[in-house]
Amino acid sequence: MVKCRNWGRVVSPKQVGPCPRCRAFDRDVFARDTFTFAEATSYATTREFLDTRFGSFAISLGLALGSPFLGLVLAGWPGVIVGLVISAVSLALGYGAATKVRATERGGA
């Protein structure tokens, strides 16, 4: 914005020469500039949960609990030993019945 210093009237910045009213050449020039700062933001959401497979869990539990008793009924105490070995195998299978899952979602501007 440009103003005449003597009269205070706003003068067109394109006008060349003296002020049309008071014929003075003295002018005050006001400049305005605007800056906008934007900060980049981002986020990360992590969700942890157990993914349970109930079929695998039921088979593993049935093998672990039933095999020693089945060995006792069918073969006596040596069958119990075999049943405990089968239980150990079902324990290894049981780790696949419940799996810890970590899901991470990332986003931002």
Task: Using the structure block, give the residue that is written with the tokens 């419940």.
Answer: 98
| Residues 33 and 55 occupy one common structural domain | no
Q: Residue 38 corresponds to which tokens in the numbers above?
A: 């934007």
Give Cβ neighbours of residue 91 (< 8 Å, ≥ 6 apart). Answer: 60, 64
The per-residue pLDDT for range 2-42, each reduced to its tens digit, is: 777 777 778 777 777 777 778 777 777 777 766 666 666 77
For 92, the enclosing helix (H) or strand (E) is: helix 77-94
Q: Please indicate, yes or no, whether residues 2 and 27 belong to a single structural domain of this protein.
A: yes
Give the Cβ contact number of residue 80 at 10 Å: 17
Same domain, 98 and 49: yes
Q: CA-CA distance, 85 to 92, in Å (whole number)?
A: 11
Residues 31 and 52 in one domain: no
Same domain, 92 and 58: yes
* Same domain for 87 and 56: yes
Residues 62 and 102 placed together within one structural domain of the fold? yes
Q: Taking 70 as the threshold, does the pLDDT of residue 68 lie above it?
A: yes
The reported pLDDT for the residue numbered 57 is: 77
- Containing structural domain, residue 49: 45-108
Could you give the number of structural domains in the chain? 2
| Domain co-membership, 28 together with 49 | no
Indicate the SS3 state at residue 47. strand
Alpha helices in 8-76 (DSSP H): 54-75
Find where tokens 């119990």 sit: 80
Asked if 51 and 90 sit in the same domain, the reply is yes
pTM for the whole structure: 0.38
- Residue 31, C-beta contacts closer than 8 angstroms, at least 6 positions apart: none
Task: Write down the residue that tokens 């075999």 correspond to.
Answer: 82
Looking at 12-16, 32-36, 59-63, 75-79, which range is the least confident one?
32-36
Q: How confident is the model at residue 58 (pLDDT cuts 50, 70, 90)?
A: confident
* pLDDT digits 0-9 by tens, 3-14: 777 777 787 777
pLDDT bracket for residue 53 (50, 70, 90)? confident
